[in-house]
Structure 1
Amino acid sequence: WLSQNKKYTPRNSLKAGMIHALAKGQEDLIAQAKAWIKANPEAKAPWDADPKYKIPGGDPRNPKIAEMIFVAPAMIRKESKGIYPAPAAILAAAVEGAQVDFETASRIESRYFAQLGAGPVSHNMISAFWTQLNQIKKGQSRPQHVPPQPTTKVGVLGAGLMGHGIAYVTAASGLEVVMTDKDQAAADNGKQRIGAIVKTQVDRGSMTQEQADGILARITPTADYHKLAGCDLIIEAVFENRELKASVTKAAEATMDPSGVFASNTSTLPITGLAKASCRPEKFIGLHFFSPVHKMQLVEIIVGEKTNDETLAKAFDFVLAIGKVPIVVNDSRGFYTSRVFSTWSNEALKMLLEGQHPHSLEMAGLQAGMPVGPLAVIDEISMGLFDHIRKQTLADMKASGEPDTPLAAAARGDHAAPVVEKMLSLKRPGRAGGAGFYEYTATGKHLWPELTKIFTNDKPQMPQQEVIDRIIYIQAIETARCMQEGILKNAADANLGAIFGWGFCPQHGGPLQFINSCGLPAFVKRAQELAMAHGARFEPPQLVLDMAAKGETF
């Protein structure tokens, strides 16, 4: 098999043959190591110990292996979409190395490795997943003057999809959790869903039954807010409704630790506005988790106008304590992740409205490096939610007197709204509604054939690279706008937030690293070409123009 950068548990590593044995602890480890050394005083690898050694299963001269090698490049292309050079290099090194002696094979492998290591994909991914990830974990965005702020007991308001997920990851880190809902039955149902998660982990061998029992024992489901007494961090995870959030905020603050922090898991509602319901707005902050919580690594920390440094430090330390990656953003409409995520999905809807074939759009998303196609993403989220957020944003802007500029209209998705409205009128809201851009059957899903009749109708098609560029550039441009507006503080938060938050093309190392890789002058030139062809939303922000003129990078 070819390595795919997957993480293996110790048990799975043993099963795959990557390690020889497991130890129960340090003493057992030392004992086993000494025993192995005594039993193998002159240990050699199999290929060195036996001059007649043959690769298990055969080499490329074996007809069955040769047949597999013949189709392997196509299989790799299907998986990698031509984005990542490593899989093809691994296959080539394996095939070539299997036909020569071990020393020669090692040189072959080293040369392929050197080519990959010096390439742009390697550079971008090392920058993101090593340099910048370590910067984040070392507290680059945390107030440095504030001492460690440990959390001892956490309250989670809401036992639904997000609430029970937050409760699970918190309890899994060793913290006590009180999980509330509207009644005891709803709270108990949330804990049952957590039980299903830990059962899956136990069945897979990634968790012992003892560990699972410990997690469940640390979670108290209840409808009684008085049990929140002593909680020094409360995370609200109820429905995206201002009145409901205000109600639970007041109820929880009446019983929680007076010095504690209150956090909202909202994904779109401005934190400063929600904090008005709090009697301690300086202790109010946003903790935006992503679904499914136990699988997604990112937590977006949103700082409101009155949030103080101690509150930010406590939130940051908590996110690290539960094993997540924290990024820090300043409050704004949509924050960072929700704001930029919507740009590429809305851009795809605009291209569908222009007549681009649905298959072209889905493939362009994958070729760009996104985890799934844009229409599939929208189906998962639901078009009803897209429509609700757009209309709510417009209403909020009118209520606050914000100017309705072309960029503001593009940001909320007005240019894509006709597609959403058409699909909703056809009662195809997305996967949860049983039908959307895709047809859903017992055996899988496929694009709804009627899409081409409704939107495409033999209209001229853009070159595929143009589609890919629109998908990538719109995200990079909006990220740069967030930097210009002060929503983002640094490139590390921008890049890792995009990759971990909505799956932005990992091979580019994040949207700002993509701009760096293009070269800022070249990026500006291409963005301006896209703006001329497709609208002002592609105009590069002044920050990028200034940096390009000065020869700077992010």
Structure 2
Amino acid sequence: MEDFIYEKDADCIVTVTMDMQGQNANTMNGRFEPGMRAVCDRLEAEERLTGVIFASVKSTFFAGGDLNNILATEVADEALFNLIEASKSTYRRLEKLPVPVVAAINGAALGGGYELCLSCNHRIVLNSPKAVVGLPEVTLGLLPGAGGVVRLTALLGFERAMPYLLEGKQARPEEALEIGMVNEIVETQDDLIPAARAWIKANPGASVQPWDRKGFRYPGGDANHPKIRQMVQVSSAMLYKKTRGRLPAPERILDVAVNSMRMDFDAALRMETRRFIGLMASKQAKAAISTFFFGMQAIKSGKVRPVGDHWKAGSAAVLGAGMMGSGIAYAHASRGLPTRLKDTDTANAEKGRRYSETLCDKAIKRGRMDDSAKAALLDQIVPATDNAAPGSLDIVIEAVFEDIDLKEKVIADTWPMLSEEGIYGSNTSTLPISILAEACPDPTRFIGLHFFSPVEKMKVVEIIMGGKTSKDTLRKAYDYVQQIGYMPIVVNDSRGFFTSRVFGTFMDEGCQLLVDGMVPAAIERASWLAGMPVGPLQVFDEVSLILGQKVRKTHAALDERLGVDSKFGRHNTATAEVIDKMIEMGRGGRQYGGGFYDYDSDGRRTLWPDLGQFARGNAGASLDDAVDRILYRHAIETLRCLDEGVLNTEVEANLGGIFAIGFPAWTGGAIQFIRGEGIDHFAARAKRLAEQYGDRFAVPDSIYDRLRDSAAKAA
């Protein structure tokens, strides 16, 4: 019991304070079940026991399950079932104690931690924004397996419990009190234990949980109630629309919640265990845990950041007040970074500032901002047509049109604004940073900072290292990106970098399927089934066919200027074949009146009926093949980027692909997708696709070998 401090006071109230040794947070590690079993044994043997309080010595109350143990789970067998049941039984034993049990929640109580709270009769929480409660397991591909689904459904009722179960929503103290997830709030940590003792003394008979009382009824009705039955039907349809059948966890949570209302409470807990252990061994859970927990943790903690003191920008300029530049200025202002928004025309600069005003007005309408916050934000943005004083700015972001000659001129003209310690970032999406750096006096302080549109929604920045960019500049750029609340993904210089290069293959595969004779609607459907947010034909219209053509021509001209063959986009053969002809026919994309789709006056779209002219015959591809082609094409290009050193880590490959490009979240990212499928299985399927559809799917065995080696080293 070294992880549990057991203290009995003069009133025969026992306080059990959790303090898992050797770790920063209390978790359900290998010592948890034996320790809790010993606690229950001792509590059940106590004479004259009047109450029990669970508290924590850590800054959090309880962080839940040990995710490393879940990652190590290979099969859902009887031994695993018995292990989970043994752990859950301690919570049930607490509920059966003949005295009141109180949870004194001093910090975050999530997952298994909040499930412990649910097994207590009364829950008191500290009034702190960090003292959140909830069951976020669904975000990790799991379900709450320590009684969370069954108990929360019984506590709140089906309707109120669903957002916290199916979305993993977490509640701060006021919300938790209002919804019924906690019963009481105290203002200071010193008030927690006294409040718990006071409640126990005032409620000596409150030892039976609501669901163990005779005649218990579910709040809002049980599974047979007409309203609940209708909700279940709607929830099932909405879940499929959201998950596309790719994520089993939400479906199993819904199944357990509904059926728990139809059976004995203990039987429902056992059913929950069966559903839980199946998810523990699933590739979706491993993908979510690896990427969205450990991967995000690595990025936030600076694991891939160069070592050095933390840097903070105090002043900035954004060059170009178009949609991208205006969005970057808003991102700065929303985090209190004063920004000069410069354009060649005063009206454009003012318009760029009004973009932030529009976003503020939307936030006010939604109740997320007030007028004073809007005024403070807008005060941070200064429209201008001239340079700031020489040496006065910490960071300058160039966000003009994707034209190398224009960018080189702007960089040279505006460099003097930088302070001696300042850095200069180019918001280019494809142009080599090393070449653009030639336009500035000190290329060591020049770096790529590729934002994504719309900037206020796409919270990720691709940081591109030029050939001469210093580690010191990278460190400052990394800190700057986190300063404004965005996720940094670091890549090395190359044509198209990582995101634009891989995104181009997604749009090209849509064109390839079109050329192969697949019905356009089926192409978009295959993308939807794969889990992509938007189909390749629709997304091509949004970014515009003309822009795609311009990028290709820009790189051809750059090759000619440098006397090289970069082979940029060499596999994207169908793109040129299709969009060049479409542009000749006046179909340049949505902003040009139409592309792959026609658009009516209300903006509604329908596929252009003449797309069939691009098909060679009518062979087409099966829907299953189309889904695989979209996923594999994306994953293979990401793998090439990793192998070529464009990408530095699998973590950045996975998170960058999901948040910047929209690769399906259920995969955990492109490289995690390969690992989840199994490297051998993926390689075999890619080989078959290459044989049938072309060498864009061909990957040398040596690349797969390196992937296997990296997994072995990590293990």
Answering whether residue 587 of structure 2 is matched by residue 425 of structure 1, we say no
C-alpha spacing 1:12/1:183, structure 2 compared with 1 (3 Å): farther
Deviations 1:481-520 (A, max 9, x none): 1122111111111111101111111111111111112222
Say which of 594, 599, 603 aligns to 1:435: 594
Report the AA paired with residue 242 of structure 1: I
Structure 1 partner of 2:354 = 192
Q: Give how far 1:8 is off.
A: 7.3
Aligned-partner Cα distance in 2 for 1:17–1:472: 41
* In structure 2, C-alpha distance between the alignment counterparts of 1:37 and 1:250, rounded to whole Å: 70
How far is the alpha carbon of 1:363 from its aligned partner?
A: 1.2
Query: How much does 1:13 deviate?
Result: 5.3
Given the alignment, which residue of 450, 459, 463 partners 1:297?
459
2:690 to 490, 515, 531: 531
Kept after mapping to 1: 8 A contact 2:418/2:424: no
Checking the alignment, whether the CA contact within 8 Å between 2:589 and 2:595 is kept in structure 1 is: yes
Label 1:364 to 1:228 Cα distance change in 2 as closer, same or farther (>3 A). Answer: farther
Change (3 A) 1:390 1:7: farther
Cα deviation digits, residues 155-179 of structure 1 (max 9, x gap): 1112221112111112222222222
Call closer, same or farther: CA 1:426–1:226 in 2, change over 3 Å.
same
Length-normalised TM-score, structure 2: 0.70
Q: Could you say if the C-alpha distance between residues 22 and 530 of structure 1 is closer, same or farther in structure 2, counting changes exceeding 3 Å?
A: farther
Cross-structure match for 1:385: 547
Quick check: 1:265 aligned with 2:427? yes
- SS of aligned partner of 1:257: strand
Letter in 2 for 1:95: V
Aligned AA (1:170):
H
Q: What SS does structure 2 have at the residue aligned with 1:302? A: strand
Q: CA deviation at 1:112?
A: 2.4
Residues 123-522 of structure 1 mapped to structure 2, 5 A cutoff: 123-144=286-307, 146-226=308-388, 230-403=392-565, 408=568, 410-411=570-571, 413-441=572-600, 445-451=604-610, 453-456=612-615, 459-522=618-681
Deviation at residue 18 of structure 1 after TM alignment: 7.1
Once the two structures are TM-superposed, the CA of residue 257 in structure 1 deviates from its matched residue by 1.3
What is the CA–CA distance in structure 2 between the aligned matches of 1:165 and 1:301, rounded to whole Å? 17
Q: CA deviation at 1:204?
A: 1.7
Q: How many angstroms apart in 1 are the aligned matches of 2:589 and 2:189?
A: 52
Give secondary structure in 2 for the equivalent of 1:226.
coil
Cα distance in 2, alignment partners of residues 283 and 549 from structure 1: 37
Q: In terms of mean alpha carbon deviation, does 111-120 or 544-553 score higher?
A: 544-553
Q: How large is the RMSD of aligned CA atoms in angstroms?
A: 3.1
Deviation at 1:38, TM superposition (A): 6.8
Q: Matched residues in 2 for 1:446 and 1:15: separation?
A: 45
Shift in alpha-carbon separation, 1:252–1:7, aligned structure 2, 3 A: farther
Counterpart residue identity of residue 388, structure 1: K
User: In the superposition, relative to structure 1, how do residues 208 and 94 fare at CA in structure 2: closer, same or farther (>3 Å)?
Assistant: same
For the residue of structure 2 that corresponds to 1:260, the secondary structure is strand
CA distance in 2 between partners of 1:215 and 1:11 (Å): 28
Q: Distance in 2 between matches of 1:128 and 1:434?
A: 39
Amino acid at match of 1:92: D
Q: Secondary structure at the match of 1:439?
A: strand
Aligned partner of residue 363 in structure 1, secondary structure: helix
Q: Label 1:45 to 1:312 Cα distance change in 2 as closer, same or farther (>3 A).
A: farther
C-alpha displacement of 1:546:
2.8
Deviation track 1:442-498 (CA, whole Å, cap 9, x = no partner) reads 566343251454345981332211111111111111111112211111111111110
Partner secondary structure for residue 258 of structure 1: strand
Alignment match, 1:112? 275
Deviation sequence 1:131-186 (CA, Å, 0-9, x none): 11211222233222x32222211111122211121111122222222221113222
SS of structure 2 residue aligned to 1:234: strand
Within a 5 Å distance, the mapping from 1:24-63 to structure 2 comes to 41-42=202-203, 47-48=210-211, 51-63=214-226
One-letter identity of the residue aligned with 2:536: P
| C-alpha deviation, 1:101, in angstroms | 4.8
* Aligned-pair CA distance for 1:307: 0.5
Structure 2 letter corresponding to 1:468 = V
Aligned AA (1:482): C
Do the aligned residues in 2 keep the contact of 1:480 with 1:543 (CA within 8 Å)? Answer: no
Query: For residue 460 of structure 1, what is the amino acid of its counterpart?
Result: A
Pair member with larger Rg: 2
Aligned equivalents of 2:391 and 2:658: distance in 1? 37
Displacement, 1:292? 1.2
Structure 2: which amino acid aligns with 1:496?
A: L
Unaligned runs of 5+ in 2: 1-158
Structure 2 vs 1, CA of residues 79 and 260 (structure 1 numbering), >3 Å: closer, same or farther? closer
**Alpha carbons 2:256, 2:271 under 8 Å: kept:** yes
How many residues end up aligned between the 2 structures? 548
Identify if the C-alpha distance between structure 1 residues 112 and 249 changes in structure 2 by more than 3 Å, giving closer, same or farther.
Answer: same
**Runs of at least 5 residues in structure 1 that lack an aligned partner in the other structure:** none
Task: State the distance in 2 between where 1:457 and 1:239 align.
Answer: 36
Percent of residue pairs bearing the same amino acid type: 38
Superposed displacement of residue 322, structure 1: 1.3
For 2:173 and 2:597, how far apart are their aligned partners in 1? 38
Distance 2:355 2:177 in 1: 29
Query: In structure 2, what is the Cα distance between the partners aligned to 1:152 and 1:106?
Result: 54
1:77 to 235, 240, 252: 240
Q: Which amino acid counterpart does residue 120 of structure 1 have in structure 2?
A: K
**TM-score, normalised to structure 1's length?**
0.90
One-letter identity of the residue aligned with 1:362: E
CA separation of 1:201 and 1:477: change in aligned 2, threshold 3 A: same
CA change 1:58–1:233 in 2 (3 A) is same
With over 3 angstroms needed to count, the CA separation of the structure-2 counterparts of 1:526 and 1:224, relative to structure 1, is same
Structure 1 Cα separation of the partners of residues 270 and 368 of structure 2: 37
Structure 1 residues 269 and 448, CA gap change in structure 2 (3 angstroms): same
SS of the equivalent of 2:310 reads: coil
Question: What SS class does the counterpart of residue 340 from structure 2 fall into?
Answer: strand
Q: What residue identity is the alignment partner of 1:461?
A: G
Tell which has more relative contact order, 1 or 2 (C-alpha 8 A, sep 6+): 1
Q: Deviations over 1:223-277 (max 9, x none)?
A: 2213575211111111111222222212222233133111101111111111111
What is the one-letter code of the residue matched to 1:423? M
Distance in 1, Cα, partners of 2:475 & 2:286: 31
Task: Using the TM superposition, give the Cα deviation of residue 9 of structure 1 relative to its aligned residue in structure 2, in angstroms.
Answer: 8.7
Q: Distance in 2 between matches of 1:209 and 1:298?
A: 28
Distance 1:297 1:228, change over 3 A: farther
Comparing both structures, which one devotes a greater share of its residues to helix?
1
